[in-house]
Amino acid sequence: MNRIERQPSVATIAPQTGVSIPLDLIAGICRLLELLTVLGAGAFALYLWGDVIQAGALADYLRVILIGALFFGLIAEIVGAYDVDAQFSLRRGWQRIFLAWGMTALFLITTAFLLKISAEFSRGWAATWFVTATVMLAGTRAGMTTWTRRLKRQGVFNSRAVIFGAGLQGQRLAQYVRGNDKLTITFLGFFDDRRDGRVPILVDDLPVFGTSDDLVAAIREGHIDQVIVALPWSAEERIREVVGKLALTPVRIRLAPDLASFAFAHRPLVLLGDLPVLTLFERPISGMDAIIKRAEDLLLAIPALVLAAPIMALTAIAIRLDSPGPIFFRQPREGFNNRLFDVLKFRSMTHESCETDGIVQARRGDKRVTRVGAFIRKTSIDELPQLLNVLKGDMSLVGPRPHAPSTRAGGRLFHEVVQTYAARHKVKPGITGWAQVCGFRGETDTEEKLVKRLEHDLHYIENWSVGFDLYILLRTVVALIAPKNAF
């Protein structure tokens, strides 16, 4: 018996058993229950405070409860409280409904204040409504999430899917989907038109049933809900032929990404006009974020420079008296987009030892460091002139520390040690940074130290926020009190 005769029959596909429930229906039930929860909590608060509420004002309270419930439903929809990920994750679900309910409370308070009617409503009733609704929403979402997870384990949401194309692309797709427990898909197997022995009988324990004609027949029998075409995008004619056959059947048809796209499966898909494209990397801290960060730099750097002016004046005098040479030290460093700029520091080494190329980082007991230089390096006073770099726009208060192009780690240039080193130049360098407050500052005498510093820099770039910046600045102040690795 040859390979083709031994291939699994389409008839072996089991018909769907049990009850199939659309996930959208569960989301609709959740919406209704949480809307009723807000209404019920408001009514319960009215019952508790009924003695202090005048009978003539009852209609006003009911209107506020209805407006609050409708506004909550709108905001919950906007923040994604009923998206698929929030239905299966209790943490995400709670975060989003609490955000929606908090914004609702803020909206009602602000509206009452602007309309000058806040005094007409009982504060006790309002507080009771807010607290009761918060507790009841938490319980309702917990119950819904538990029920939804149980139904998912039973497979009631799953659509029966097959892959057309049993090649490497189809195999990759099957491995990805079967390894993702958030998807509501049950894979039945593969179909493929190639009958010359290139396609195996089983692919990762999933059978290869037959050709596109067999697939259409299986769909007509009601065994399949979804078909994912996993053919190389270069095979345009073959894709058109298969999709043309499937388009006549009442199933969902999807085109899998090309093989190279699996390397970027975690990247978001956006529309470029009507054309879907993968966003491989966003420009970090851009648009409004860049404006906010620049405003943050100016608002903090200007008063910091004013406060530091006396210290900087005394430092300049001390440097002049301690050793001959200029007060400031300028050195080319790599900044945003690998552009060179002159970083400004107080000179901490003897004038003849100050290098602008072929940099040898200072180490413990370095004889090039002057007496004043040792003190200002240990206390980081030598970095204060970089506030001028911040005002100029070459640097930020917080960001990856700038390094000279010729700096080495373990005898090798930084970019030779780590090929992705230039990724830290996606943002402006900073006077302080996440790597520095985590202890990775000072001399990078080993490649491991450089790798750790780069990991922290990239973490900062990917997770930037104003709050993160303020936290780093606070940690910097603490680090200055007990400095390490600065010599």
From CA 214, how far away is CA 174, in angstroms rounded? 20
Residue 51: the pLDDT is 82
Which of 40-44, 96-100, 207-211 is predicted least confidently?
A: 207-211
As given in the structure block, the two tokens for residue 166 are: 């049993």
Residue 472: the pLDDT is 94
Cβ–Cβ under 8 Å, residues 230 and 173: yes
Using a 10 angstrom Cβ sphere, with 0-12 exposed, 13-18 middle and 19 or more buried, the burial of residue 238 is middle
Helix (H, G, I), strand (E, B) or coil at 272: strand
Listed as own residue / partner, the contacts of 182-185 with beta carbons closer than 8 Å and 24 or more positions apart are: 182/84, 182/85, 182/88, 184/23, 184/152, 184/157, 184/158, 184/159, 185/158, 185/159, 185/161, 185/226
| Cβ atoms within 10 Å of 228's Cβ, excluding its own | 20
Please compute the mean of the pLDDT values over residues 460-473 and round it to a whole number: 90
Identity of residue 444:
T
* pLDDT at residue 191 tops 80: yes
Cβ–Cβ under 8 Å, residues 319 and 346: yes
As given in the structure block, the two tokens for residue 67 are: 């407006």
Using a 10 angstrom Cβ sphere, with 0-12 exposed, 13-18 middle and 19 or more buried, the burial of residue 6 is exposed
User: What percent of the chain has pLDDT above 70?
Assistant: 79
Cβ–Cβ under 8 Å, residues 55 and 28: no
As given in the structure block, the two tokens for residue 312 are: 């900087």
Residue 306: the pLDDT is 94
Specify the pTM: 0.54
Residue 2: the pLDDT is 41
| Cβ atoms within 10 Å of 117's Cβ, excluding its own | 12
pLDDT tens-digit readout, 380-432: 899 999 999 999 999 999 999 887 766 655 555 655 555 556 677 788 999 99
Length of the chain: 487
Nearest 5°: phi and psi at 393? 105, 0
Q: How confident is the model at residue 4 (pLDDT cuts 50, 70, 90)?
A: very low
pLDDT tens-digit readout, 74-92: 999 999 999 888 888 899 9
| Cβ atoms within 10 Å of 51's Cβ, excluding its own | 5
User: What percent of the chain has pLDDT above 90?
Assistant: 30
Domains identified in the chain and CATH numbers: 3-18+157-278 (3.40.50.720), 23-153 (no CATH), 288-481 (no CATH)
Select from 224, 252, 185, 167 the least CA-distant residue to 10: 224
| Cβ atoms within 10 Å of 309's Cβ, excluding its own | 12
As given in the structure block, the two tokens for residue 313 are: 């004046």
With a CB cutoff of 8 Å and minimum separation 6, the contacts of 353 are 368
Please compute the mean of the pLDDT values over residues 258-266 and round it to a whole number: 63
Cβ–Cβ under 8 Å, residues 174 and 204: yes
From CA 391, how far away is CA 174, in angstroms rounded? 53
Please compute the mean of the pLDDT values over residues 35-53 and round it to a whole number: 90
In the 8-state DSSP scheme, what is residue 463? T
From CA 470, how far away is CA 273, in angstroms rounded? 38
